[in-house]
A and B are shown apart, each in its own frame.
Chain A
Amino acid sequence: MNLFTTVFIMVRRDLILALRHKSELLTALFFFVIVVNLLPLGVGPDPKLLSKIAPGVLWIGALLATLLGLPRLFAHDYQDGSLEQLSLSPHSFTLIVLGKIMAHWLVAGLPVVLITPFLGIQFNLSGPIIAVMMATLLLGTPVLSLIGSIGAALTLGVRGGGVLLSLLILPLYIPVLIFGAGAAEAYRSGLDMSGYFWLLAALDILALFFAPWVSAVALKVALE
């Protein structure tokens, strides 16, 4: 069994598990939609203001939606003991963790990206800005899942895990938020925004390289 098969099998397993619990699947998405829709109720319906703050709001919504699913990333497998079995498997535990993270992104991150156009219309965004937003979210949300997995692994089985997780992880999300929302802002001001995409891609690569490994180490600590 080669490396990609390990990852692929884990992704498929976790996706099947997620599809068997459809309510969990949709919770993060609806949470995102509701949080973003609450904002106009808070700041007033002025279309100009809304279209100005929309990128930031969408990004914060995406951050919180990712965060919502993170405590469950390893919790079920930890409770029923399958995580311990997985850690004992002869295949690389880091790759197994990577598979779980990818599945989490497919369940929590990708739907957020796909629903963005509808929310963008609500916020009076023009077509090109919506496209920019989708592109940055597509690049950025994997980083959120990857970094988040470290927090999920560290807080596994710890009391008050969910709230603790957000305290640990949200400060680390700041660069993604800045570059993600910054690209749309740069586009609006007519500036070159390719730099933001490169930076997001760099964060992707860094997180892809380090996060599964650190998460695997943290999980081993939790399983000791």
Chain B
Amino acid sequence: MNWFKYASPASFYPLAGKLIPYFAAITVVLLAIGLWISFFVAPTDFQQGEGYRIIFVHVPASWMSMFIYCVMAFWSALGLIFNTRLSGMMTQALAPTGALFAFLSLVTGSLWGKPMWGTWWVWDARLTSQLILFFLYLGYLALTSAIDDSRRRDKAGAILSLVGVVNVPIIYFSVIWWNTLHQGASVSMTKAPTMAHTMLMGMLIMALAFWGYTIAMGLKRVRCIILEREMSSEWIKKNAVE
């Protein structure tokens, strides 16, 4: 099978259209199961009460926000190496979802922190680096939306996301060192309490649901971007306008 066949927007557009319903269906089913487990099956935590249930959204959202940034860097590298147009479109299609998950992770974390730690925000290493990741997403979105020429937008965005992904570990470790220097052990989030199996199960199912959502949304968005960019080409006039 020739994978490069699908590097062309004209052949990827219908493939994406076919895949979207499957991933959307998977998302809905897994989300239903995951939420059911997290609200009704998972036992109440004896220390944290019912409030802990927000982590079923929080943890998968944090995972996804970090993972999506890596995927964006992957597409960027691919785009710069093979000069494929679709790669830039994929990166831009994923970025809003990644930013959304980063934001969701910050908000849910803050909502969780209020009853558990008694404060909305701590300058904890994880919180701070998550915030910085959110800033990196915003920078990417701002840069790509400011450039009109699509070729330059793809390449500039690719360079920025690669620079970002190289910097993420440096930023992460510097924030950890900064944190250990400045803050006493007032709040430690690193010692994860041992989890019941059902809790872990719920979290994993929710994570898979978020994967499905990311893929479905990414494909949907990439279809919009393809339509926008290839407006004047023949195949769109023939096939895509239904």
Contacts and interface: CB of A to CB of B under 8 A. Distances in A.
Contacts of A221: 152, 155-156, 159
Contacts of B156: 154, 218, 221-222
A183 to B, nearest CB: 11
B143 A174 contact: no
B159 A214 contact: yes
A175 interface: yes
A110 to B, nearest CB: 24
A168 interface: yes
B177 A168 contact: no
Contacts of B164: 172
Contact of A178 (B139, B152, B177): B177
Interface residues of A, number: 29
Nearest to B160: A154
A159 interface: yes
Contacts of A217: 159
A221 B138 CA distance: 21
Contacts of A170: 135
A182 interface: yes
Given A171-B136, A174-B171, A178-B177, A218 B159 contact: yes
B151 A224 contact: yes
A155 interface: yes
A167 B177 contact: no
A222 B147 CA distance: 10
Interface string B128-154: 000010011011001100110001100
A185 interface: yes
Contacts of B167: 171-172, 175
A168 B157 CA distance: 11
A150 interface: yes
Secondary structure dominating the interface of A: helix
B107 interface: no
B87 to A, nearest CB: 15
Interface string A152-190: 001100111100100110111011001100100110000
A164 B171 CA distance: 20
Q: How large is the interface on B (under 10, 10 to 19, 20 to 34, 35 or more residues)?
A: 20 to 34
B174 A150 contact: no
B32 interface: no
Nearest to A196: B177
B181 interface: yes
B132 A171 contact: yes
B95 interface: no
B152 A168 contact: no
Nearest to A158: B146
Nearest to B182: A185
B181 A185 contact: yes
A159 B156 CA distance: 14
Interface string A27-51: 0000000000000000000000000
A182 B177 contact: yes
A155 B177 contact: no
Contacts of B160: 154, 168
B177 A158 contact: no
B178 interface: yes
B219 interface: no
Contact of B181 (A150, A159, A167, A182): A182
Contact of B143 (A164, A199, A203): A164
A167 B152 contact: no
B163 interface: yes
B174 A174 contact: yes
B175 A174 contact: yes
A186 B32 CA distance: 51
Nearest to A176: B174
B224 interface: no
B155 A167 contact: no
Interface of A: 150, 154-155, 158-161, 164, 167-168, 170-172, 174-175, 178-179, 182, 185-186, 199, 203, 210, 214, 217-218, 221-222, 224
Top 8 closest A-B pairs, CB basis? A175-B174, A221-B155, A178-B178, A168-B139, A171-B135, A178-B174, A158-B146, A154-B156
Given A167-B139, A168-B143, A174-B174, 5 more contacts: A154-B156, A168-B139, A168-B142, A175-B171, A182-B181
10 contacts: A155-B146, A164-B146, A168-B139, A171-B139, A174-B171, A174-B175, A175-B171, A178-B175, A214-B163, A221-B156
